């Protein structure tokens, strides 16, 4: 999800994307419900309306003939799976849901609001964007209805409610989620070399050193590989690195202060975290297996950053749960499982840390109308029924923080592991920081300075100072 | 280089007086250049450059037939004659779920054809009126229409979309067709008007003497002569609409709320 989300942040209507994006939108506009092709995973989607029991839908009332329009950054196959998951709601209430996806969602939504062509519901992928929407168009964004609000309390943790809340009012309810604190590795390669999955951050560093020592004869093989290239959004994987490590070195409370700018961006604790990231990402002994030297991280597309693992040129690649789609793109026969070709382990916390932090992201359902059918549909999206329908319709690559989600419906092992991390009380969840910061930082200087940090070896201090200087005054 | 510029007086003038006629000198220079450029070594260099410049494109072409795993593991040149080639990539791009370019093409055509035909039709009628129908304020109107070109289309996006929404046509193809028409008209009217003005007045007057009305003059006298101008503008407009993203993106979105 965030793969497309990140790209959506392109504000410029770059001509490069003209061919695909514009046309994709129009195809979407022509209605793309229906066929269930290309799940990419080899797994198959289930039938969402099998054994449908409409009893759980009685609260929504009779909505026959009503229509709810949805606007989202989710496109293609993922959008088709979304549309599929609305069918139980449509069949039980009689309402129709029209979903439209656009890769230019973030640029287009304000235009549509201004011109009055407002969708009933939009899926906003960043809390920061939600905040600016509420600030810029206070009349357009509607507070969440009572039923949906109740469901959020019942099915989600307090933290998720907070991310959809602006100035004390709930404007967004959580939809999907993803977990970013993962390190991808090859279980078979680990088994061959006799390596064990590290339990603590110290073990992780020790393992890296051991891999370096074991491969002294072959300088091409390195413990880590990485890539932060992503078009206009180049640098975001590096911001995830810093956020993940800051959560581990300074703890969730400092992280929250840093995200909300209660402490400056270049606080000494952040500098320490960046230094720790640098010990891996800017260590020529550790990176960049199969891809080149340190600066090659900046020129490698993030989609391809983990591929050397398959060639056994690198052993570890820190990237979010959604990276599993890239493995099946690379080779549909790769098995993503704990005993398969590739899998991921939790990016470990230091031994001294009591709680294990989890970095993640997700989308929020934001209503622009308060008609009964819109409120009912939003309530449905926060219900366990929808989560389970979505899990049934999606072979791989979708999870939710909904407590009512039946884990056994998820077919992909990495999705199951992600849900474990999200629902286990010994893990503390934190939302991606750059998605919460003001756009000038979170979708601007943070990305570009982290790219500079790697590409032209800019110093830790200069990078943090430059980002702090770019933080908007108000 | 300075003597190569014939208009520079302090170089050219004394030379012309001393050396006699300037014209043969000029010709011989261009002849010399032509001779040099078409000589054998020059041709060989040109062909070498052309081949060198084409290699990446050719590589792209070859790569398009290779399988994704091969693309990643080896260069196209390494297994040029031994590799297995297939059309799978084209099949994926054109018809598979995530990037079905075939349907995108269809969309492009559905948008482009009316967005070319509508403005040309209107512009032809308007430019005929501007060129051959006498009415009060003609010049002023014509200048006004042409001056509208200076308005950047980005400024008009939100107001136009607001208008389409209140007319209730948002979500159909009409906003895109109409917008492209609106943005194309000033230039189309200007170009076609100038072309029509160039047609000899005698021709139109002769037709009028023979009893032809405006409709007959337009279709039987002017239209055959205008074909090159229409073709030129048609190609121009086609390319612009086909390559456009901004207009399609803004006006192509689905209908918002069903209130």
- Domain assignment present for B70: yes
Task: Using alpha carbons, select from A230, A232, A238, A267 the residue that is nearest to residue A250.
Answer: A267
* Facing residue for B107 by CB, picked from A23, A100, A307: A23
In this structure, are A25 and A167 located in the same domain? yes
Kind plus residue range of the DSSP H or E element containing B196: helix B174-198
Residues B54, B114 within the same domain: no
- The answer to whether the CB atoms of A117 and B256 lie below 8 A apart is yes
- pLDDT tens digits, B20-44: 444 555 567 888 888 878 888 889 9
Per the domain annotation, does B256 fall within a domain?
Answer: no
Q: What is the CATH number of the domain that holds B202?
A: 1.10.3720.10
pLDDT score of B259: 58
Euclidean distance between CA atoms B206 and A365, whole angstroms: 71
Give yes or no for residue A42 having a pLDDT over 50: no
pLDDT at B124 over 50: yes
Q: Do B253 and A30 touch (CB under 8 A)?
A: no
- A330 to chain B: which residues are within 8 Å by CB? 68-69, 72
pLDDT at B103: 86
pLDDT at B4: 45
CA distance A121 to chain B (A): 9
Report the pLDDT value the prediction gives residue B93, as an integer from 0 to 100.
Answer: 86
User: Is B257 part of a structural domain of the chain?
Assistant: no
Kind of pairing between the strands at A169-170 and A165-166 = antiparallel
Judge: B97–A77 Cβ closer than 8 Å, yes or no: yes
- Both B8 and B85 in one domain: the answer is yes
Reading phi first (left if > 0) and then psi (alpha if -120 to 50, else beta), residue A344 is in beta
Residues B129, B139 contacting (CB under 8 angstroms): no
Mean pLDDT over all residues of chain B?
85
- Both B80 and B108 in a single domain? no
Closest CA to A2 of A363, A390, A329: A363
**Same domain, yes or no, for A365 and A464?**
no
Tell me the β-bridge partners of A224: A316
Residues A351 and A365 in one domain: no
- Containing domain of residue B51, as a range? 2-95
Q: Is residue B199 part of a domain?
A: yes
The pLDDT, as a whole number, for residue A6 is 43
What confidence score (pLDDT) does residue B95 get? 85
3-state secondary structure of B118: helix
Quickly state the pLDDT bin for A289 (edges 50, 70, 90).
confident
Closest CA to A156 of A357, A379, A349: A379
Looking at the structure, tell me whether residues B87 and B107 fall in a common domain.
no
Q: Are residues B79 and B122 in the same domain?
A: no
Lowest mean pLDDT among A193-197, A207-211, A219-223, B55-59: A219-223
Distances (CA, A) of B191 to A24, B119, B120, B197: 34, 12, 11, 10
Between chains, do B259 and A369 touch, taking CB under 8 Å as contact? Answer: yes
* B232 in the same domain as B106: yes
Give the range of the structural domain holding residue A286, as residue numbers without chain letter. 182-358+434-470
ipTM of the complex in this document: 0.72
Instruction: Check whether residue A149 and residue A42 sit in a common domain.
Output: yes
Give domain status of residue B259, yes or no: no
d(CA A348, CA A309): 19
Is residue A202 located within the same domain as residue A317? yes
- Can you give the CATH number for the domain in which A416 is found? 3.40.190.10
The pLDDT tens digits for A66-92 are 999 999 998 888 888 899 999 999 999
Using 50, 70 and 90 to split pLDDT, how confident is the model at A450? very high
How many whole angstroms separate alpha carbon B92 and alpha carbon B73? 20
A24 touches chain B (CB under 8 A): yes
Q: Same domain for A133 and A172?
A: yes
The whole-angstrom separation of Cα A281 and Cα A294 is 7
Q: Are residues B176 and B60 in the same domain?
A: no
Interface A-B: count of C-beta contacts within 8 A? 120
Same domain as A378, residue A316:
no
pLDDT digits (tens, 9 = 90+) for A83-128: 999 999 999 999 999 999 888 898 889 999 998 889 999 999 999 9
Q: What are phi and psi of A141, to 5 degrees?
A: -80, 130
**Per-residue pLDDT for A369 more than 60?**
yes
Do B58 and B152 lie in one domain? The reply is no
Cα A223 from Cα A219, distance rounded (Å): 11
Count of domains forming chain A: 2
Is the CB of residue A25 less than 8 Å away from at least one CB of chain B?
yes
Alpha-carbon gap: B246 to the closest alpha carbon of chain A (Å): 7
Classify strands A96-101 and A67-72 as parallel, antiparallel or unpaired.
parallel
Chain B residues touching A76 at Cβ < 8 A: 97-99
Least reliable range by pLDDT among A48-57, A301-310, A410-419: A48-57
Together in a domain, A188 and A274:
yes
User: Is residue A455 within 8 Å of A277, Cβ to Cβ?
Assistant: no
**What global pTM score does this model have?**
0.80
How far A119 CA sits from the closest chain B CA (Å)? Answer: 4
Tokens representing B117 are 């035909």
pLDDT at B98: 65
Please tell me the distance in Å from A112's CA to the nearest CA on chain B. Answer: 8
pLDDT at residue A37 in the model: 39
Query: Do A130 and A110 reside in the same domain of the chain?
Result: yes
Would residue B180 count as lying in a domain?
yes
Question: Which of residues B28, B61, B95 is at a domain's end?
Answer: B95
Looking at the structure, do residues A285 and A145 belong to the same domain, yes or no? no
Between the CA atoms of A379, A381, A384 and A387, what dihedral angle is there, to the nearest 10 degrees? 180
CB contact under 8 A, B252 and A29: yes
Q: Which of A23, A330, A371 lies closest to B108 in CB terms?
A: A23
| Domain end position, chosen among B76, B95, B114 | B95
User: How confident is the model over A163-185, as pLDDT tens digits?
Assistant: 999 999 999 999 999 999 999 99
Same domain, B193 and B212: yes
CA dihedral A216, A219, A220, A225 (to 10 degrees): 70
Same domain, A83 and A146: yes
Do B85 and B111 sit in the same domain of this protein? no
| A221, A345: one domain | yes
How many domains are contained in chain B? 2
Residue B258 falls within a domain, yes or no?
A: no
Q: Does residue A21 register a pLDDT over 60?
A: no
Domain end among B95, B113, B138? B95
The CA distance from A12 to A198, in Å, is 42
Mean pLDDT of chain A: 87
In a domain, B134, yes or no: yes
**Same structural domain, B120 and B86:** no
CB contact under 8 A, A30 and B107: yes
Q: Which two tokens stand for residue B62?
A: 């070859």
Same domain, B84 and B125: no
């Amino acid at each position: 999800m965030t793969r497309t989300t990140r790209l959506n942040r392109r504000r410029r209507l770059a001509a490069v994307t003209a061919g695909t994006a514009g046309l994709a939108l129009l195809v979407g506009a022509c209605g793309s419900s229906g066929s269930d092709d290309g799940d990419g995973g080899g797994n198959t989607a289930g039938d969402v309306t099998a054994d449908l029991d409409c009893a759980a839908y009685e609260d929504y009332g009779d909505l026959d003939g009503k229509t709810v329009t949805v606007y989202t950054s989710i496109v293609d196959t993922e959008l088709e799976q979304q549309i599929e998951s609305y069918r139980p709601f449509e069949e039980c209430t009689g309402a129709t849901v029209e979903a439209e996806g656009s890769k230019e969602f973030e640029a287009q939504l304000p235009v549509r609001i201004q011109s009055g062509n407002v969708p009933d519901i939009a899926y906003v992928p960043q809390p920061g964007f939600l905040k600016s929407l509420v600030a810029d168009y206070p009349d357009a964004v509607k507070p969440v209805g009572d039923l949906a609000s109740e469901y959020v309390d019942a099915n989600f943790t307090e933290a998720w409610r907070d991310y959809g809340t602006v100035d004390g009012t709930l404007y967004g309810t959580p939809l999907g989620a993803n977990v970013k604190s993962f390190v991808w590795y090859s279980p078979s390669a680990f088994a061959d070399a006799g390596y064990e999955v590290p339990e603590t951050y110290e073990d992780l560093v020790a393992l890296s050193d051991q891999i370096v020592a074991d491969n002294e004869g072959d300088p091409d093989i390195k413990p880590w590989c990485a890539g932060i290239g992503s078009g206009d959004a180049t640098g975001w994987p590096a911001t995830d690195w810093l956020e993940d490590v800051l959560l581990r070195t300074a703890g969730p409370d400092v992280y929250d202060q840093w995200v909300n700018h209660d402490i400056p961006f270049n606080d000494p604790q952040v500098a320490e975290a960046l230094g720790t990231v640098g010990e891996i990402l800017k260590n020529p002994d550790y990176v960049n297996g199969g891809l080149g030297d340190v600066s090659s991280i900046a020129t490698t597309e993030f989609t391809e950053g983990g591929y050397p693992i398959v060639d056994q040129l690198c052993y570890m690649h820190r990237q979010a749960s959604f990276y599993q789609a890239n493995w099946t793109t690379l080779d549909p026969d790769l098995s993503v499982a704990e005993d398969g070709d590739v899998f991921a382990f939790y990016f470990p916390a230091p031994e001294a840390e009591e709680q294990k932090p989890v970095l993640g992201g997700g989308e929020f359902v934001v209503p622009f109308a308060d008609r009964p059918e819109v409120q009912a549909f939003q309530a449905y999206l926060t219900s366990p029924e929808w989560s389970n329908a979505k899990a049934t319709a999606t072979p791989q690559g979708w999870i939710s923080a909904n407590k009512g989600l039946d884990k056994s419906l998820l077919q992909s092992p990495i999705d199951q592991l992600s849900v474990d991390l999200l629902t286990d009380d010994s893990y503390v969840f934190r939302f991606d920081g750059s998605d919460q910061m003001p756009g000038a930082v979170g979708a601007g200087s943070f990305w570009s300075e982290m790219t500079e940090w790697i590409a032209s070896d800019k110093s830790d201090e200069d990078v943090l100072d430059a980002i702090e200087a770019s933080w908007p005054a108000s | 280089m300075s003597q190569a510029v014939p208009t520079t007086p302090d170089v050219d003038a004394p030379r012309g007086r001393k050396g006699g006629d300037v014209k043969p000198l000029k010709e011989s220079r261009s002849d010399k250049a032509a001779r040099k450029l078409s000589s054998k070594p020059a041709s060989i260099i040109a062909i070498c450059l052309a081949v060198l410049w084409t290699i990446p494109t050719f590589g792209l072409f070859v790569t398009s037939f290779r399988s994704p795993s091969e693309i990643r593991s080896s260069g196209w040149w390494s297994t040029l004659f031994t590799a297995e080639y297939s059309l799978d990539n084209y099949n994926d791009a054109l018809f598979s779920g995530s990037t079905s370019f075939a349907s995108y093409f269809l969309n492009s055509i559905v948008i482009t054809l009316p967005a070319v035909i509508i403005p040309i039709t209107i512009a032809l009628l308007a430019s005929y009126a501007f060129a051959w129908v006498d009415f009060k304020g003609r010049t002023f109107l014509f200048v006004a229409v042409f001056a509208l070109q200076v308005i950047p289309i980005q400024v008009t996006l939100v107001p136009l979309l607001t208008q389409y929404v209140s007319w209730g046509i948002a979500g159909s193809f009409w906003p895109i067709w109409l917008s492209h028409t609106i943005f194309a008209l000033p230039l189309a009217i200007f170009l076609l008007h100038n072309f029509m003005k160039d047609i000899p007045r005698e021709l139109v007057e002769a037709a009028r003497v023979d009893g032809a009305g405006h409709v007959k003059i337009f279709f039987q006298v002017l239209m055959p002569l205008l074909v090159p101008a229409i073709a030129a503008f048609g190609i121009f407009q086609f390319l612009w609409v086909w390559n456009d993203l901004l207009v399609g993106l803004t006006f192509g979105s689905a209908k918002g709320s069903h209130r």
